[in-house]
Structure 1
Amino acid sequence: MHDLVIFDCDGVLVDSEPLSNQVLVDNLGRYGLDLTLEDSVGFFLGGTMVGVRDKARALGANLPDDWVDEVYAETYERLRGGVELMPGVADLLSTLDEKGIAYCVASNGSPDKMQITLGQNGLWGRLSKVAFSAHVLGTAKPDPTMFLTAAKRFNATAPVVIEDSQNGVTAAIRADMRCLAYAPQGNARKLADLGAQVFTDMADVPSLLGI
Protein backbone atom coordinates (compact mmCIF):
# COMPACT_ATOMS: atom_id res chain seq x y z
CA MET A 1 0.00 0.00 0.00
CA HIS A 2 1.15 3.54 -0.68
CA ASP A 3 2.35 5.40 2.42
CA LEU A 4 2.45 8.93 0.94
CA VAL A 5 0.41 10.80 -1.66
CA ILE A 6 2.22 13.75 -3.25
CA PHE A 7 -0.20 16.20 -4.85
CA ASP A 8 0.62 18.83 -7.40
CA CYS A 9 -1.19 22.06 -6.54
CA ASP A 10 -2.45 23.96 -9.60
CA GLY A 11 -4.91 21.91 -11.61
CA VAL A 12 -4.88 19.04 -9.11
CA LEU A 13 -5.87 20.50 -5.74
CA VAL A 14 -7.17 23.86 -6.96
CA ASP A 15 -8.77 24.96 -10.21
CA SER A 16 -6.29 27.77 -10.74
CA GLU A 17 -4.96 26.96 -14.22
CA PRO A 18 -7.71 28.75 -16.23
CA LEU A 19 -7.32 31.94 -14.20
CA SER A 20 -3.52 31.87 -14.25
CA ASN A 21 -3.39 31.20 -17.97
CA GLN A 22 -5.87 33.97 -18.71
CA VAL A 23 -3.54 36.36 -16.89
CA LEU A 24 -0.71 35.16 -19.13
CA VAL A 25 -2.81 35.63 -22.25
CA ASP A 26 -3.80 39.16 -21.21
CA ASN A 27 -0.31 40.11 -20.11
CA LEU A 28 1.60 38.70 -23.06
CA GLY A 29 -0.85 40.35 -25.44
CA ARG A 30 0.42 43.68 -24.18
CA TYR A 31 3.94 42.66 -25.17
CA GLY A 32 3.15 41.63 -28.72
CA LEU A 33 2.38 37.93 -28.27
CA ASP A 34 -1.24 37.04 -29.07
CA LEU A 35 -2.23 33.64 -27.69
CA THR A 36 -5.47 31.83 -27.03
CA LEU A 37 -6.14 30.25 -23.65
CA GLU A 38 -5.57 26.87 -25.27
CA ASP A 39 -2.21 28.08 -26.63
CA SER A 40 -1.14 29.23 -23.19
CA VAL A 41 -2.03 25.94 -21.55
CA GLY A 42 -0.25 24.02 -24.28
CA PHE A 43 2.92 26.09 -24.09
CA PHE A 44 3.19 26.75 -20.37
CA LEU A 45 1.27 24.21 -18.23
CA GLY A 46 3.41 22.80 -15.44
CA GLY A 47 6.38 25.09 -16.04
CA THR A 48 8.08 27.75 -13.96
CA MET A 49 7.50 31.44 -14.59
CA VAL A 50 11.13 31.85 -15.62
CA GLY A 51 10.53 29.09 -18.15
CA VAL A 52 7.36 30.84 -19.31
CA ARG A 53 9.32 34.07 -19.75
CA ASP A 54 12.01 32.39 -21.82
CA LYS A 55 9.47 30.54 -23.98
CA ALA A 56 7.41 33.70 -24.49
CA ARG A 57 10.49 35.62 -25.57
CA ALA A 58 11.36 32.85 -28.00
CA LEU A 59 7.85 33.17 -29.42
CA GLY A 60 8.36 36.89 -29.97
CA ALA A 61 7.23 38.65 -26.77
CA ASN A 62 9.24 41.76 -25.93
CA LEU A 63 9.33 41.30 -22.15
CA PRO A 64 10.98 43.67 -19.65
CA ASP A 65 13.60 42.50 -17.18
CA ASP A 66 11.14 42.62 -14.28
CA TRP A 67 8.43 40.68 -16.12
CA VAL A 68 8.38 37.72 -13.73
CA ASP A 69 7.60 39.98 -10.77
CA GLU A 70 4.98 41.80 -12.82
CA VAL A 71 3.11 38.70 -13.93
CA TYR A 72 3.24 37.17 -10.46
CA ALA A 73 1.60 40.30 -9.03
CA GLU A 74 -1.13 40.18 -11.68
CA THR A 75 -1.66 36.43 -11.15
CA TYR A 76 -1.89 36.72 -7.38
CA GLU A 77 -4.41 39.55 -7.69
CA ARG A 78 -6.59 37.45 -9.99
CA LEU A 79 -6.36 34.37 -7.75
CA ARG A 80 -7.30 36.39 -4.65
CA GLY A 81 -10.60 37.05 -6.41
CA GLY A 82 -11.53 33.43 -5.89
CA VAL A 83 -10.40 29.96 -6.92
CA GLU A 84 -12.22 26.71 -6.24
CA LEU A 85 -10.94 23.32 -5.16
CA MET A 86 -10.95 20.74 -7.91
CA PRO A 87 -14.10 18.58 -7.69
CA GLY A 88 -13.73 15.72 -5.23
CA VAL A 89 -10.53 16.94 -3.58
CA ALA A 90 -12.09 17.61 -0.16
CA ASP A 91 -13.60 14.12 -0.02
CA LEU A 92 -10.34 12.53 -1.18
CA LEU A 93 -8.31 14.26 1.53
CA SER A 94 -10.87 13.19 4.14
CA THR A 95 -10.54 9.59 2.95
CA LEU A 96 -6.76 9.73 3.21
CA ASP A 97 -7.10 11.14 6.73
CA GLU A 98 -9.46 8.32 7.69
CA LYS A 99 -7.08 5.70 6.32
CA GLY A 100 -4.06 7.28 7.99
CA ILE A 101 -2.24 7.86 4.71
CA ALA A 102 0.08 10.87 4.71
CA TYR A 103 -0.08 13.48 1.97
CA CYS A 104 1.70 16.66 0.94
CA VAL A 105 1.84 19.15 -1.91
CA ALA A 106 4.76 19.70 -4.30
CA SER A 107 4.51 22.58 -6.75
CA ASN A 108 6.59 24.54 -9.22
CA GLY A 109 4.61 27.52 -7.92
CA SER A 110 5.70 29.76 -5.08
CA PRO A 111 4.69 29.38 -1.41
CA ASP A 112 2.88 32.72 -1.71
CA LYS A 113 0.76 31.37 -4.56
CA MET A 114 -0.07 28.17 -2.66
CA GLN A 115 -0.99 30.20 0.41
CA ILE A 116 -3.42 32.26 -1.69
CA THR A 117 -5.08 29.34 -3.47
CA LEU A 118 -5.07 26.77 -0.67
CA GLY A 119 -5.69 29.35 2.04
CA GLN A 120 -9.02 30.52 0.71
CA ASN A 121 -10.17 26.89 0.57
CA GLY A 122 -9.18 25.95 4.11
CA LEU A 123 -6.26 23.72 3.11
CA TRP A 124 -3.23 25.88 3.84
CA GLY A 125 -3.45 25.10 7.55
CA ARG A 126 -3.31 21.39 6.76
CA LEU A 127 -0.60 21.62 4.12
CA SER A 128 1.62 24.60 4.97
CA LYS A 129 4.14 22.48 6.89
CA VAL A 130 4.25 19.86 4.14
CA ALA A 131 4.27 22.17 1.11
CA PHE A 132 7.28 21.74 -1.16
CA SER A 133 8.01 24.52 -3.64
CA ALA A 134 10.48 24.78 -6.49
CA HIS A 135 11.07 28.38 -5.37
CA VAL A 136 12.41 27.13 -2.05
CA LEU A 137 14.28 24.07 -3.25
CA GLY A 138 15.82 25.86 -6.21
CA THR A 139 14.95 23.10 -8.65
CA ALA A 140 11.72 22.51 -10.53
CA LYS A 141 9.89 19.69 -12.26
CA PRO A 142 10.72 17.85 -14.49
CA ASP A 143 13.69 17.46 -12.15
CA PRO A 144 12.68 14.76 -9.62
CA THR A 145 14.36 16.41 -6.61
CA MET A 146 11.15 17.87 -5.16
CA PHE A 147 9.40 14.49 -5.09
CA LEU A 148 12.47 12.73 -3.69
CA THR A 149 12.77 15.41 -0.99
CA ALA A 150 9.12 14.95 -0.02
CA ALA A 151 9.46 11.17 0.19
CA LYS A 152 12.58 11.50 2.34
CA ARG A 153 10.82 13.92 4.70
CA PHE A 154 8.09 11.33 5.32
CA ASN A 155 10.39 8.29 5.23
CA ALA A 156 8.03 6.98 2.57
CA THR A 157 8.86 3.71 0.87
CA ALA A 158 5.89 3.61 -1.53
CA PRO A 159 4.93 7.16 -2.51
CA VAL A 160 2.49 7.96 -5.31
CA VAL A 161 2.32 11.25 -7.20
CA ILE A 162 -0.84 12.91 -8.53
CA GLU A 163 -0.05 15.28 -11.39
CA ASP A 164 -1.66 16.97 -14.37
CA SER A 165 1.28 18.16 -16.47
CA GLN A 166 3.95 16.58 -18.61
CA ASN A 167 6.68 18.13 -16.47
CA GLY A 168 5.11 16.70 -13.33
CA VAL A 169 4.65 13.21 -14.76
CA THR A 170 8.22 13.24 -16.06
CA ALA A 171 9.52 14.21 -12.61
CA ALA A 172 7.58 11.37 -10.97
CA ILE A 173 8.84 8.79 -13.46
CA ARG A 174 12.40 10.04 -13.01
CA ALA A 175 11.93 9.66 -9.25
CA ASP A 176 10.83 6.06 -9.88
CA MET A 177 7.42 6.77 -8.36
CA ARG A 178 4.00 5.64 -9.50
CA CYS A 179 2.17 8.56 -11.08
CA LEU A 180 -1.57 9.08 -11.39
CA ALA A 181 -2.31 11.73 -14.00
CA TYR A 182 -5.47 13.78 -13.54
CA ALA A 183 -6.84 14.67 -16.96
CA PRO A 184 -10.48 15.76 -16.68
CA GLN A 185 -10.18 18.03 -19.73
CA GLY A 186 -8.14 15.79 -21.99
CA ASN A 187 -4.35 15.61 -22.58
CA ALA A 188 -4.62 11.99 -21.42
CA ARG A 189 -2.66 10.44 -24.27
CA LYS A 190 0.46 12.57 -23.74
CA LEU A 191 0.48 11.88 -20.01
CA ALA A 192 -0.08 8.15 -20.49
CA ASP A 193 2.71 8.01 -23.06
CA LEU A 194 5.07 9.41 -20.43
CA GLY A 195 4.25 6.53 -18.08
CA ALA A 196 1.37 7.80 -15.96
CA GLN A 197 -1.88 6.05 -15.14
CA VAL A 198 -4.58 8.47 -16.26
CA PHE A 199 -7.84 9.15 -14.41
CA THR A 200 -10.55 11.78 -14.84
CA ASP A 201 -12.42 11.84 -11.51
CA MET A 202 -10.98 12.32 -8.00
CA ALA A 203 -13.58 9.83 -6.75
CA ASP A 204 -11.59 7.12 -8.56
CA VAL A 205 -8.38 7.74 -6.61
CA PRO A 206 -9.16 5.61 -3.51
CA SER A 207 -9.72 2.52 -5.66
CA LEU A 208 -6.58 3.30 -7.67
CA LEU A 209 -4.69 3.44 -4.37
CA GLY A 210 -6.27 0.21 -3.19
CA ILE A 211 -8.02 1.76 -0.17
Structure 2
Amino acid sequence: MHDLVIFDCDGVLVDSEVLSNQVLIDSFARYGLNLSLAECMALFVGGTMTGVREKARALGADLPENWIEQIYSEIYEVLRAGTPLVAGVPELLGQLDSLGIPYCVASNGRPEKMQITLGQNGLWDRFRDVMFSAHVLGVGKPDPALFIAAAQHFGAKSPVVIEDSESGVTAAKCADMRCLGYAAHHDGARLAALGAEVFDDMAQVPKLLGL
Protein backbone atom coordinates (compact mmCIF):
# COMPACT_ATOMS: atom_id res chain seq x y z
CA MET A 1 0.00 0.00 0.00
CA HIS A 2 1.30 3.46 -0.88
CA ASP A 3 1.75 5.83 2.06
CA LEU A 4 1.52 9.09 0.04
CA VAL A 5 -0.17 10.18 -3.18
CA ILE A 6 1.54 13.12 -4.91
CA PHE A 7 -0.70 14.92 -7.41
CA ASP A 8 0.39 17.27 -10.12
CA CYS A 9 -2.04 20.21 -10.28
CA ASP A 10 -2.72 21.41 -13.83
CA GLY A 11 -4.26 18.68 -15.93
CA VAL A 12 -4.51 16.24 -13.00
CA LEU A 13 -6.53 17.96 -10.27
CA VAL A 14 -7.93 20.76 -12.41
CA ASP A 15 -8.71 20.68 -16.12
CA SER A 16 -6.69 23.79 -16.87
CA GLU A 17 -4.21 22.75 -19.54
CA VAL A 18 -6.42 23.39 -22.58
CA LEU A 19 -7.44 26.79 -21.18
CA SER A 20 -3.84 27.81 -20.42
CA ASN A 21 -2.48 26.54 -23.72
CA GLN A 22 -5.08 28.47 -25.71
CA VAL A 23 -3.82 31.63 -23.97
CA LEU A 24 -0.26 30.65 -24.96
CA ILE A 25 -1.33 30.09 -28.57
CA ASP A 26 -2.96 33.51 -28.77
CA SER A 27 0.09 35.18 -27.22
CA PHE A 28 2.59 33.41 -29.47
CA ALA A 29 0.57 34.38 -32.54
CA ARG A 30 0.96 38.05 -31.59
CA TYR A 31 4.73 37.53 -31.54
CA GLY A 32 5.13 35.62 -34.80
CA LEU A 33 4.72 31.96 -33.81
CA ASN A 34 1.62 30.06 -34.94
CA LEU A 35 0.85 26.73 -33.29
CA SER A 36 -2.15 24.41 -33.11
CA LEU A 37 -3.51 23.37 -29.73
CA ALA A 38 -2.08 19.87 -30.15
CA GLU A 39 1.34 21.26 -31.06
CA CYS A 40 1.33 23.70 -28.16
CA MET A 41 0.37 21.07 -25.61
CA ALA A 42 2.92 18.58 -26.93
CA LEU A 43 5.65 21.20 -26.66
CA PHE A 44 4.84 22.96 -23.41
CA VAL A 45 2.65 20.96 -20.99
CA GLY A 46 4.57 20.36 -17.78
CA GLY A 47 7.26 22.95 -18.39
CA THR A 48 8.24 25.97 -16.35
CA MET A 49 7.25 29.29 -17.87
CA THR A 50 10.92 30.23 -18.22
CA GLY A 51 11.44 27.05 -20.21
CA VAL A 52 8.33 27.78 -22.29
CA ARG A 53 9.66 31.24 -23.12
CA GLU A 54 13.05 29.97 -24.21
CA LYS A 55 11.62 27.15 -26.31
CA ALA A 56 9.13 29.51 -27.97
CA ARG A 57 11.92 31.97 -28.76
CA ALA A 58 13.95 29.15 -30.30
CA LEU A 59 10.94 28.38 -32.50
CA GLY A 60 10.80 31.97 -33.70
CA ALA A 61 8.58 33.85 -31.26
CA ASP A 62 9.85 37.39 -30.69
CA LEU A 63 8.83 37.51 -27.02
CA PRO A 64 9.50 40.66 -24.98
CA GLU A 65 11.46 40.63 -21.74
CA ASN A 66 8.31 41.11 -19.65
CA TRP A 67 6.50 38.25 -21.41
CA ILE A 68 6.38 35.90 -18.39
CA GLU A 69 4.52 38.38 -16.20
CA GLN A 70 2.32 39.28 -19.15
CA ILE A 71 1.35 35.67 -19.88
CA TYR A 72 0.71 34.85 -16.21
CA SER A 73 -1.67 37.80 -16.00
CA GLU A 74 -3.54 36.63 -19.11
CA ILE A 75 -3.70 33.00 -17.94
CA TYR A 76 -4.88 33.95 -14.45
CA GLU A 77 -7.70 36.04 -15.95
CA VAL A 78 -8.93 33.07 -17.99
CA LEU A 79 -8.60 30.62 -15.10
CA ARG A 80 -10.50 32.92 -12.73
CA ALA A 81 -13.40 32.88 -15.17
CA GLY A 82 -13.83 29.17 -14.53
CA THR A 83 -11.53 26.18 -14.21
CA PRO A 84 -13.30 22.83 -13.82
CA LEU A 85 -12.02 20.00 -11.68
CA VAL A 86 -10.87 16.88 -13.48
CA ALA A 87 -13.81 14.44 -13.32
CA GLY A 88 -13.53 11.97 -10.47
CA VAL A 89 -11.07 13.97 -8.36
CA PRO A 90 -13.45 14.75 -5.44
CA GLU A 91 -14.42 11.09 -5.19
CA LEU A 92 -10.79 9.97 -5.29
CA LEU A 93 -9.76 12.46 -2.57
CA GLY A 94 -12.71 11.36 -0.45
CA GLN A 95 -11.63 7.75 -0.72
CA LEU A 96 -8.06 8.61 0.27
CA ASP A 97 -9.40 10.61 3.23
CA SER A 98 -11.56 7.70 4.38
CA LEU A 99 -8.56 5.36 4.28
CA GLY A 100 -6.25 7.83 6.01
CA ILE A 101 -3.83 7.96 3.07
CA PRO A 102 -2.12 11.36 2.92
CA TYR A 103 -1.82 13.32 -0.31
CA CYS A 104 -0.28 16.55 -1.53
CA VAL A 105 0.28 18.58 -4.68
CA ALA A 106 3.64 19.15 -6.38
CA SER A 107 3.61 21.56 -9.32
CA ASN A 108 5.84 23.68 -11.51
CA GLY A 109 3.12 26.34 -11.21
CA ARG A 110 3.07 29.29 -8.86
CA PRO A 111 1.16 29.04 -5.56
CA GLU A 112 -1.01 31.98 -6.71
CA LYS A 113 -2.11 29.97 -9.74
CA MET A 114 -3.00 26.96 -7.59
CA GLN A 115 -4.96 29.20 -5.25
CA ILE A 116 -7.02 30.43 -8.22
CA THR A 117 -7.72 26.97 -9.65
CA LEU A 118 -8.04 24.92 -6.45
CA GLY A 119 -9.72 27.74 -4.55
CA GLN A 120 -12.71 28.01 -6.85
CA ASN A 121 -13.24 24.25 -6.63
CA GLY A 122 -13.19 23.88 -2.87
CA LEU A 123 -9.81 22.16 -2.73
CA TRP A 124 -7.61 25.00 -1.47
CA ASP A 125 -8.08 24.12 2.21
CA ARG A 126 -7.19 20.50 1.45
CA PHE A 127 -3.91 21.38 -0.23
CA ARG A 128 -2.78 24.78 1.09
CA ASP A 129 -0.49 23.29 3.75
CA VAL A 130 0.79 20.42 1.59
CA MET A 131 1.70 22.35 -1.54
CA PHE A 132 5.10 21.97 -3.15
CA SER A 133 5.79 24.57 -5.85
CA ALA A 134 8.84 24.89 -8.07
CA HIS A 135 8.61 28.65 -7.56
CA VAL A 136 9.09 28.18 -3.82
CA LEU A 137 11.65 25.38 -3.94
CA GLY A 138 13.62 27.03 -6.73
CA VAL A 139 13.79 23.96 -8.97
CA GLY A 140 11.13 22.37 -11.14
CA LYS A 141 10.36 19.16 -12.96
CA PRO A 142 11.95 17.23 -14.65
CA ASP A 143 14.27 17.63 -11.65
CA PRO A 144 13.02 15.18 -8.97
CA ALA A 145 13.57 17.62 -6.09
CA LEU A 146 9.87 18.55 -5.75
CA PHE A 147 8.78 14.96 -5.32
CA ILE A 148 11.66 14.13 -3.00
CA ALA A 149 10.82 17.14 -0.81
CA ALA A 150 7.18 16.03 -0.65
CA ALA A 151 8.08 12.49 0.35
CA GLN A 152 10.51 13.72 3.00
CA HIS A 153 7.88 16.07 4.44
CA PHE A 154 5.55 13.12 5.04
CA GLY A 155 8.26 10.59 5.86
CA ALA A 156 6.83 8.48 3.04
CA LYS A 157 8.57 5.25 2.11
CA SER A 158 6.30 4.25 -0.77
CA PRO A 159 4.90 7.34 -2.51
CA VAL A 160 3.08 7.28 -5.85
CA VAL A 161 2.94 10.20 -8.28
CA ILE A 162 0.02 11.08 -10.57
CA GLU A 163 1.20 13.13 -13.54
CA ASP A 164 0.12 14.16 -17.01
CA SER A 165 3.37 15.49 -18.49
CA GLU A 166 6.62 14.05 -19.73
CA SER A 167 8.62 16.31 -17.41
CA GLY A 168 6.56 15.09 -14.45
CA VAL A 169 6.94 11.42 -15.32
CA THR A 170 10.67 11.94 -15.79
CA ALA A 171 10.91 13.59 -12.36
CA ALA A 172 9.00 10.73 -10.73
CA LYS A 173 11.18 8.07 -12.30
CA CYS A 174 14.34 9.98 -11.36
CA ALA A 175 13.01 10.02 -7.78
CA ASP A 176 12.49 6.24 -8.07
CA MET A 177 8.75 6.63 -7.51
CA ARG A 178 5.88 4.77 -9.14
CA CYS A 179 4.09 7.05 -11.58
CA LEU A 180 0.55 6.89 -12.91
CA GLY A 181 0.25 8.85 -16.16
CA TYR A 182 -3.11 10.54 -16.71
CA ALA A 183 -3.77 10.82 -20.45
CA ALA A 184 -7.11 12.56 -20.98
CA HIS A 185 -6.22 14.45 -24.19
CA HIS A 186 -3.90 11.96 -25.95
CA ASP A 187 -3.04 8.26 -26.12
CA GLY A 188 -0.40 8.42 -23.39
CA ALA A 189 2.28 6.73 -25.50
CA ARG A 190 4.93 9.31 -24.64
CA LEU A 191 4.19 8.96 -20.92
CA ALA A 192 4.29 5.18 -21.15
CA ALA A 193 7.63 5.32 -22.97
CA LEU A 194 9.07 7.15 -19.96
CA GLY A 195 7.81 4.51 -17.53
CA ALA A 196 4.37 5.73 -16.47
CA GLU A 197 1.39 3.42 -16.04
CA VAL A 198 -1.12 5.14 -18.30
CA PHE A 199 -4.82 5.59 -17.47
CA ASP A 200 -7.53 7.92 -18.76
CA ASP A 201 -10.16 8.09 -16.00
CA MET A 202 -9.69 9.04 -12.34
CA ALA A 203 -12.18 6.31 -11.45
CA GLN A 204 -9.43 3.83 -12.38
CA VAL A 205 -7.01 5.11 -9.75
CA PRO A 206 -8.34 3.27 -6.67
CA LYS A 207 -7.89 -0.07 -8.42
CA LEU A 208 -4.42 0.94 -9.67
CA LEU A 209 -3.47 1.83 -6.09
CA GLY A 210 -4.94 -1.39 -4.72
CA LEU A 211 -7.45 0.44 -2.51
Q: Name the TM tier (shorter chain).
A: over 0.9
Q: Give 3-state SS (helix, strand or coil) of 1:19's partner.
A: helix
Question: % of aligned pairs identical?
Answer: 65
Amino acid in the other structure paired with 1:98: S
Matched ranges for 1:39-50 at <5 A: 39-50=39-50
Matched ranges for 1:32-181 at <5 A: 32-181=32-181
The Cα shift of 1:201 comes to 0.8
Gaps of 5+ in 1: none
**Aligned partners of 1:186, 1:69: CA distance in 2, in Å?**
29
**Aligned partners of 2:9, 2:41: CA distance in 1, in Å?**
16
Q: Say if 2:200 is the partner of 1:200.
A: yes
The Cα shift of 1:187 comes to 3.8
Amino acid in the other structure paired with 1:63: L
The Cα shift of 1:35 comes to 1.0
User: Structure 1 segments of 4 or more deviating over 3 A?
Assistant: none
The Cα shift of 1:207 comes to 0.8
The Cα shift of 1:185 comes to 2.1
Q: Give 3-state SS (helix, strand or coil) of 1:72's partner.
A: helix
Amino acid in the other structure paired with 1:92: L
**Aligned partners of 1:127, 1:184: CA distance in 2, in Å?**
23
**Aligned partners of 2:21, 2:185: CA distance in 1, in Å?**
15
Q: Give 3-state SS (helix, strand or coil) of 2:97's partner.
A: helix
The Cα shift of 1:37 comes to 1.0
Q: Give 3-state SS (helix, strand or coil) of 2:128's partner.
A: helix
**Aligned partners of 1:196, 1:131: CA distance in 2, in Å?**
22
Gaps of 5+ in 2: none
The Cα shift of 1:39 comes to 1.2
**Aligned partners of 2:192, 2:22: CA distance in 1, in Å?**
27
Question: 1:112-164 deviations in whole A, cap 9, x for unaligned?
Answer: 00000000000011101001000000000000000000000000000000000
**Aligned partners of 1:53, 1:192: CA distance in 2, in Å?**
27
Aligned position for 1:15 = 15
**Aligned partners of 1:42, 1:205: CA distance in 2, in Å?**
24
Q: Give 3-state SS (helix, strand or coil) of 1:76's partner.
A: helix
Amino acid in the other structure paired with 2:2: H
Instruction: Return the TM-score normalized by structure 2.
Output: 0.99
Aligned residues: 211
Instruction: Return the TM-score normalized by structure 1.
Output: 0.99
